[in-house]
Structure 1
Amino acid sequence: MGWLFSHHSRSALIEHLICADENDAVRWQTLKYALRGNILWSVVQVTAKRDNDFLTLKKNESLRLIYCHLLQKSEGLWGYKSLCEEAGPRYYTCPLRYLTLAPVIRCASWRESVRMYHGPQKEDKMSLLQLCEVPHIMSDGYICDERCTLLFLSLWGRDTAIQELLARLTLKNEEALTQLTLTNPALHEHTLFPGNPDSLDKLTARHQRTRFGTLVHLWLFDKRCRVPDRANGKAFLLLKRDDPHWRERVWTLLQETTTLPLLTHWQNRILALLQSSQMLTPIGGYGGLTGWQLALDPLRLTTLISEAIIAGELCCTSRHSEEHFSSLRAA
């Protein structure tokens, strides 16, 4: 569905979009709605007046759908463009509670993006974390998995302190660093486990003439953040928070990690399969980064793809995705 401009005021347009209505096939009613800038989010309950194969509803059965209405003013008129959840809108400010109000998942990857957007709230942007094990080293961000295993860590400090840290990470005695404890100004602790030092890689940069003198910026990260482990089907993708192109980046990483032939137009369905089977999971931490963990089970993935092909969900040619409910709301 394209843009439709027909209202002289924004409030009149919103009233039109949330009002109850019906046609020969269904009745719909807006249960909840919320404005986020010029995006109107709504939960709509659709009730079939007769058997409806498109929505897979029997007569008098109901289904709740999430809608994203984009609002815009042009040439004196307010207009809108409606996107349903299944279309995978690239907007993620939908209130989290709407995912519960509409429990039937139409697009798992979009829901994960919404959860990532509303994930652990950033602490004060100016708040650095202090490393307890080695004095005078600060961190402005990290990424870890669900077991708090270090996947990425950004550190700042003087050269001698950074060298001490790197040396202690490689020791095999009681001076070895088996965990890293970071604290914020409120003394809240963030604990990371570096694991096997052989699995870590590093980059450094030297910054001179700072207000604190010469500082070294150290990035420690799992080698699989840079090069996928194709033999074991494991890789990590680091992204800036709210990266609008995360889906394309994950798809590229998948193609670099697996040996399975994947057609480009399978992207949305394959990513949804990976998330529902826990082979693609979000990872988080502290600071301005977030990410995804890819842990492929080749046999399981092959089975899922085969089942999707047999069910007609994947085909050799690209088909234009229909937007749910697009024909139900008259202009």
Structure 2
Amino acid sequence: MGWLFGHGQTRAQLIARLTRNEEHDSVTRRCLRHCTSGNVLWTVWEVQRSDDAPMRYIGCDLLAWDRACAGWGYKDMCEQMEPLYYSCPLAYLDMVPPAAPAWREQVRAWHAARSRTLAPGDVLTLSGLSISEAVVVSRHHRMWIVESGGRLFRFPPRLFRHIVRQRGADTCGGPQHAG
């Protein structure tokens, strides 16, 4: 599965082409919903043959600009391929029967981590990073600044999934965060 690029194609043109409804040989394919998250296009498709019940699936198209052809291209995947992208809208999961339960759990975990709220003074226990515990110091735009071992680190929301425990500043045992 490779990438397909169109010469001189804009991003909007590509998205319009990837989400248009089609009908061929008594098979209808309709895009019920679509949205983008960065350069990932999420779609919910309904495919129906003339005599069969409709089938639905979630599509995931990666979008990229190619300088050589001066146009946008895509790489298409579906839920069954368990893409390593988890920004699929939660509402889409309710619209389609599960094809990859493990991937859906990753999507739910990604959304839960992104909705996490931090506050200065919170103590974070982390897993899968080079630091195992950090104290939230401040926020700069969407980026959090944390302190660990006397050093400051940037902590963007995409790393929230590494938080295994969060203790509020008021439950940490005093100003030194002992405990």
TM-score of the superposed pair, with normalisation by structure 2: 0.67
Change (3 A) 1:125 1:86: farther
List gaps (5 residues or longer) in structure 1. Answer: 50-58, 129-138, 144-152, 157-205, 211-239, 244-282, 288-331
Identify the match of residue 95 of structure 2 among 89, 95, 101: 101
Alignment length (residue pairs): 140
Change (3 A) 1:72 1:207: closer
Identify the match of residue 71 of structure 1 among 63, 67, 78: 63
* Aligned-pair identity (%): 33
Q: Distance in 2 between matches of 1:155 and 1:83?
A: 37
Deviations 1:153-196 (A, max 9, x none): 9588xxxxxxxxxxxxxxxxxxxxxxxxxxxxxxxxxxxxxxxx
Identify the match of residue 122 of structure 1 among 113, 116, 120: 116
AA in 1 matched with 2:104: R
Alpha-carbon shift at residue 78 of structure 1 (Å): 1.0
Identify the match of residue 110 of structure 1 among 90, 99, 103: 103
List gaps (5 residues or longer) in structure 2. Answer: 136-147, 152-158, 168-179
Deviations 1:18-47 (A, max 9, x none): 100022262111111111111100101111
Give the structure 2 partner of residue 91 of structure 1.
85
Q: Distance in 2 between matches of 1:72 and 1:2?
A: 12
- Look up the SS of the partner of 1:115 in the other structure: helix
Give the structure 2 partner of residue 3 of structure 1.
3
Q: Confirm or deny that 1:32 pairs with 2:33.
A: yes
Deviations 1:111-158 (A, max 9, x none): 000000011522225341xxxxxxxxxx33479xxxxxxxxx9588xx
AA in 2 matched with 1:94: C
Q: Distance in 2 between matches of 1:284 and 1:155?
A: 12
Alignment of 1:118-157 (within 5 A): 118-119=111-112, 121-124=115-118, 126-128=120-122, 139-141=123-125, 154=133
Change (3 A) 1:79 1:154: closer
Alpha-carbon shift at residue 83 of structure 1 (Å): 0.4
**Whose strand proportion is higher, 1 or 2?**
2
Deviations 1:248-275 (A, max 9, x none): xxxxxxxxxxxxxxxxxxxxxxxxxxxx
Give the structure 2 partner of residue 174 of structure 1.
none
Change (3 A) 1:2 1:125: farther
Change (3 A) 1:242 1:48: farther
Change (3 A) 1:81 1:207: closer
Structure showing greater radius of gyration is 1
TM-score of the superposed pair, with normalisation by structure 1: 0.38
Give the structure 2 partner of residue 286 of structure 1.
166
Q: Distance in 2 between matches of 1:64 and 1:284?
A: 35
Alpha-carbon shift at residue 6 of structure 1 (Å): 1.6
Tell me the C-alpha RMSD between the 2 structures.
Answer: 3.0
Change (3 A) 1:140 1:20: same
Contact 1:122 1:286 in 2 (8 A): no
